[in-house]
């Protein structure tokens, strides 16, 4: 199990595709796994049903918005949303991901760290580490064999998002928040491998392959 985290535009998709091609050329079974708290299959289905029903407890569109901030100021809605999102992740990681790890090399595009940062950004004042469900999720989620954190500056992330025509780009404030959190977590977690993605794509790919070897 190999995990890639980092700011948008850091090159996660590019490096993941390089790795998938590498393993497939060696006739290995590879499974691509994307996840983000609140965007797992169960939560997407729930949000689609709520939007279709015209519910006012969920924003009409995904991404950052004044409407979303206003809705999530309601503590009951916030608590219910977080609870449901974590429960869905428990099933998604604890059952589905573990099943896929049995006979595959699993490459994860985002993982627990990314969701932790999302929740802390979207729900200010939330002490995520004290929640029972979050502790349960951390405990049952599979532990990666390698964890790559792809790092670029927030300003570079904005520039690359514009070039990619990203549909829901993060604001510079959010990117600064995420960068500081990634930086702090990577220093605390010794197993996370930081990768400077301001370098050329081939250089980054060779660095990642060297760690795999």
List pLDDT tens digits, range 84-98.
999 999 999 999 999
- The proportion of the chain whose per-residue pLDDT surpasses 90, expressed as a percent, equals 66
Per-residue pLDDT band at 168 (split at 50, 70, 90): confident
> Which residue segment(s) compose the domain that 27 sits in?
2-212
Per-residue pLDDT band at 186 (split at 50, 70, 90): confident
Per-residue pLDDT band at 59 (split at 50, 70, 90): low
pLDDT at 63 over 60: no
pLDDT score of 13: 94
Backbone angles phi, psi at 108, to 5 degrees: -95, 125
**Six-digit token string for 39:** 């965007």
pTM of the model: 0.86
Alpha helices in the chain (DSSP H): 12-25, 41-52, 66-71, 75-91, 98-100, 112-122, 132-140, 154-164, 172-188, 201-212
Q: What is the mean pLDDT of the chain?
A: 89
CA distances (Å), origin 184, targets 36, 37, 82, 172, 198: 20, 20, 23, 18, 19
CA distances (Å), origin 33, targets 4, 86, 93: 10, 17, 10
**Which of helix, strand or coil describes residue 105?**
strand
pLDDT score of 100: 97
**Which of helix, strand or coil describes residue 24?**
helix
Contacts of 141 (CB under 8 A, 6+ apart): 89, 93, 94, 97, 111, 112
pLDDT at 60 over 90: no
Contacts of 10 (CB under 8 A, 6+ apart): 150, 151, 152, 157, 197
Q: What is the mean pLDDT of residues 70-81?
A: 76
- How many whole angstroms from its chain centre is CA 34? 8
Q: CA–CA separation, 69 vs 82, rounded Å?
A: 14
First and final C-alpha spacing in the chain: 14
pLDDT score of 123: 84
The DSSP output letter for 114 is H
Q: Tell me the CATH number at 121.
A: 3.40.50.300
Place of tokens 């392959």: 209
| Sign of the four-CA dihedral 123, 127, 133, 138 | positive
Domain count, the chain: 1
Strand ranges across the sheet with 30-34:
30-34, 105-109, 2-6, 146-151, 192-196
| Sign of the four-CA dihedral 36, 40, 46, 50 | positive
């Amino acid at each position: 199990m190999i995990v890639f985290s980092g700011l948008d535009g850091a090159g996660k998709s590019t490096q993941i595709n390089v790795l998938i091609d590498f393993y497939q050329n060696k006739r290995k079974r590879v499974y691509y796994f994307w996840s983000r708290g609140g965007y797992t299959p169960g939560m997407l289905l729930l949000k689609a049903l709520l939007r279709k029903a015209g519910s006012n407890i969920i924003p009409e569109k995904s991404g950052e918005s004044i409407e979303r901030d206003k809705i999530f100021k309601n503590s009951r809605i916030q608590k219910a949303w977080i609870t449901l999102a974590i429960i869905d992740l428990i099933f998604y990681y604890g059952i589905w991901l573990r099943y896929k790890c049995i006979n595959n090399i699993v490459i994860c595009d985002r993982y627990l760290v990314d969701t932790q940062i999302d929740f802390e950004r979207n729900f200010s004042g939330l002490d995520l580490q004290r929640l029972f469900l979050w502790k349960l999720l951390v405990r049952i989620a599979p532990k990666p064999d390698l964890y790559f954190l792809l790092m670029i500056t927030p300003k570079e992330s904005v520039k690359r998002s514009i070039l990619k025509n990203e549909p829901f780009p993060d604001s510079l404030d959010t990117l600064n928040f995420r960068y500081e959190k990634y930086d702090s977590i990577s220093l605390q977690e010794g197993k996370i491998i930081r990768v400077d993605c301001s370098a050329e794509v081939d250089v980054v790919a060779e660095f990642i392959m060297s760690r795999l070897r």
